[in-house]
A and B are shown apart, each in its own frame.
Chain A
Amino acid sequence: MITDPLSATLRIASSGLQAQGTRLRVVAENIANADSTAPTAGGDPYRRKTISFTSAMDRSTGSEIVKVKQIGRDRSDFQLAYDPSHPAADEKGYVKRPNVQPLIEMMDMREASRSFEASVNVIEQTRSMMNRMVDLLRS
């Protein structure tokens, strides 16, 4: 049980780091699989992963932290590309491409790293406040 607000702040901010870190991992998986087609002819390729957050009550501090609600799949349609020589092509010669849009992934990555930096910033501010308190003992 942490009742000191400054210690609770550090705990909250680290939950933010964790959540944004998971989000970056999902983005990396999507970008890495942007060209992963189906292993069998005519099958479905890699489906883009999505992540959503929710706020949750942390019992040890009595504060609202952030948690990953779920890692889901993007249900949007696949793009078809005509490439009869491709091993994943169907009988008409079309290949289903993953529904990963590099531009969207980049935006997501920028937002995640911006939020990550904001949490780091809060930790730094809180640490300087704690150090200021410790300095009181020194004088």
Chain B
Amino acid sequence: MDFSNISVFRLAGARLDYLAERQRLIAENVVNANTPDYQAKDLKPFESLMNGQRPVTPSRTSSMHLAGLRPAGSAQEARRPDQWEVTPDGNSVSLEQEMNKGSETRDAFSLTAGVFQRNVQMLRAAWRVG
């Protein structure tokens, strides 16, 4: 039985992937908070990724082509994320904002993992009855 065919699992899995990827970008922003001319990065909102817009990915038509680092169809980065401030050296990372985003991401991750867990418990209950 493939759990990814059950839509709750698929949705929760996609959400967890998205949040982990977002946390990675937050870490990149935080460590580059003192790098001159660094532009902060963020992902597009999860809703817009779910609304059917599939990212365009190059297809490998020859075994000589290099595979990309990111798995195909991974979350897209927003072109110009909202930033709170830009310092005179051209750095657009605000540590306060990144901390805020980080705790948001962690809470959402915990919530999504909870949904996943509940769904497993529901399946288990069904097996026990059956």
Pairing of A with B = yes
Also in contact, A16 and B110, with CB within 8 A (given A62-B69, A114-B95): no
Place the interface of chain A in its size category.
Answer: 35 or more
Q: Which residues of B contact A32 (CB under 8 A)?
A: none
Tell me the count of chain B residues lying within 8 A, CB to CB, of chain A. Answer: 35
> From A13, which residue of chain B is reached at the shortest CB distance?
B27
B50 contacts partner chain A, Cβ-Cβ < 8 Å: no
Q: Which residues of A contact B120 (CB under 8 A)?
A: 136, 139
Asked if A63 contacts B24 (CB within 8 A), the reply is: yes
> From A128, which residue of chain B is reached at the shortest CB distance?
B106
| Chain A contact residues: helix, strand, loop or mixed | helix
Q: Which residues of B contact A122 (CB under 8 A)?
A: 23, 26-27, 30, 98, 102
Asked if B106 contacts A129 (CB within 8 A), the reply is: yes
Q: Which residues of B contact A (CB under 8 A)?
A: 16-17, 19-21, 23-24, 26-28, 30-36, 38, 69-71, 95, 98-99, 102-103, 105-106, 109-110, 113, 116-117, 120-121
